[in-house]
Amino acid sequence: MTTAVDRIAIKAKERPGDRIFSTATVVAGSLILAVLAAVALFLFVQSIPAFVAPADAFKGDFTNFWSYVAPLAFGTVWSAFLALLMAVPVAIAVALFISHYAPRKLAQGLGYLIDLLAAVPSVVFGLWGIGVLAPLVQPFYASLVDWFGWFPLFAGPVSGTGRTILTVAIVLAVMVLPIITAICREIFLQTPVLYEEASLALGATRWEMITMAVLPFGRAGIISAAMLGLGRALGETMAVAMVLSPNPQVIFQLLTSQNSNTIAANIALNFPEAHGVGVNILLATGLVLFVITLIVNMIARVIINRRKAFSGAN
């Protein structure tokens, strides 16, 4: 009885302004969910003609949509995987440098410097990839093929321009590095200071402290950071479209001038000239890319959120 009275007594008066304002915020929030649903819906509706398209609607000799998209999906995953292989170790090291090795006063400024890398537009990375990186690495590729050509991935003939999937992977690695670094840095800084001080007080060197306190604490965070980087690398368009010399097949070799294209780059290269059902086919490949990145991102976010709930940081 008394509780009911209390509840009535402390209830604030609902003013019209309050109601309008709170409704506006709810509408805005729901709009975001609606947009995400609309992206999936409109892409799907526009993709339906592609799934039933006849064989002659596809560029090259493909029989149906799935045989067309499979090499592209392979190229997307393959280039992103190679990029992560290079980016993740470097990103962890850079994050450790900023969080635990650099002088305290410099650390924040150095963090900004790495963040600037994330702000460079992808089309500029594309120009840099063709203009600077590809000519720079081509002689290196040539000697790799000469010496290690027996290894299947490095089989020749070597590309004369350096515009191979390995160059693309290097550019992608540079592009995802700041994202992975930023998240790893945050995670490493959250390590409870007591753990760190305890291990140092027991006589551990700095590296032993990191392997015993920082890395175990941040393992889940590192995994999800890598997956977010993967999501970015999967969807990157312009750098790939400009640097890669593509071929519509599944190709593992890293150094030849025949490379599997990625979904995003294939869309960017063909969309301006596409017409009729060709547009629907490209939209359908976009839907495939959307689903792949959505799954990768959702897994990454679930890992981060679970980690947040059990963290002892606060």
Partner 1 sequence: MSTMTVSAPVTNSLTAGKLPKNSPLIVLAASWVVAAAFFAVIFLAGATETFNWAGALFFGTVLHCVALFLFSYFVEGVRRAKDRLVTALVTIAFVVALIPLISLVGTTVVNGLPAFLTPSFFTESQRNVVGAGGGALHAIVGTLFVTGLATLISVPIGLLTAIYLTEYGRGRLARGITFFVDVMTGIPSIVAGLFAYALFSLLFDDPGIRFGFGGSVALSVLMIPVVVRSSEEMLKLVPNELREAAYALGVPKWLTIVKVVLPTSLAGIVTGVMISISRVIGETAPLLIIAGFTASMNYDLFSERMMTLPVFVYNQYASQGADSQAYIDRAWAGALTLIVIVMLLNLVARLVARTFSPKLGR
Tell me if 226 sits within 8 A of 88, measured CB to CB: yes
Residue 131 within binding range of partner 1, rule CB under 8 A: yes
Question: Helix 165-189 to helix 134-148 angle, to the nearest 10 degrees?
Answer: 100
Stretch that binds partner 1, among 48-56, 65-73, 160-168, 207-215 (CB under 8 A): 207-215
Of 70 and 279, which has the nearer Cβ to partner 1?
Answer: 279
Q: Give the tokens for residue 278.
A: 């060709």
Of 102 and 155, which has the nearer Cβ to partner 1?
Answer: 102
Q: Give the tokens for residue 163.
A: 């515009």
Residue 139 within binding range of partner 1, rule CB under 8 A: no
Cβ at position 115, least distance to partner 1 in Å: 8
Q: What is the pattern of x (binds partner 1, CB under 8 A) and - over residues 162-201?
A: ------------x--x---x--------------------
Of residues 232, 246, 253, 307, which one binds partner 1 by CB under 8 A?
232
Of 100 and 164, which has the nearer Cβ to partner 1?
Answer: 100
Q: Encode burial over 123-156: b for 16+ CB neighbours within 10 A, e otherwise.
A: eebbebbbeebbeebbeebbebbeeeeeeeebbe
Residue 82 within binding range of partner 1, rule CB under 8 A: no
Residue 301 within binding range of partner 1, rule CB under 8 A: yes
Tell me if 133 sits within 8 A of 170, measured CB to CB: yes
Residues 21-40 that bind partner 1 (CB under 8 A): 21-22, 24-33, 35-36, 38-39
Residue 42 within binding range of partner 1, rule CB under 8 A: yes
Cβ at position 38, least distance to partner 1 in Å: 7
Q: Give the tokens for residue 158.
A: 């070597």
Task: Specify the 3-state DSSP secondary structure of 260.
Answer: strand
Q: Give the tokens for residue 176.
A: 């995802």
Residue 293 within binding range of partner 1, rule CB under 8 A: yes
- 103: β partners: none
Tell me if 164 sits within 8 A of 254, measured CB to CB: yes
Of residues 67, 205, 312, 313, which one binds partner 1 by CB under 8 A?
205
Tell me if 250 sits within 8 A of 70, measured CB to CB: yes
Of 38 and 157, which has the nearer Cβ to partner 1?
Answer: 38
Residue 272 within binding range of partner 1, rule CB under 8 A: yes
Tell me if 300 sits within 8 A of 245, measured CB to CB: no
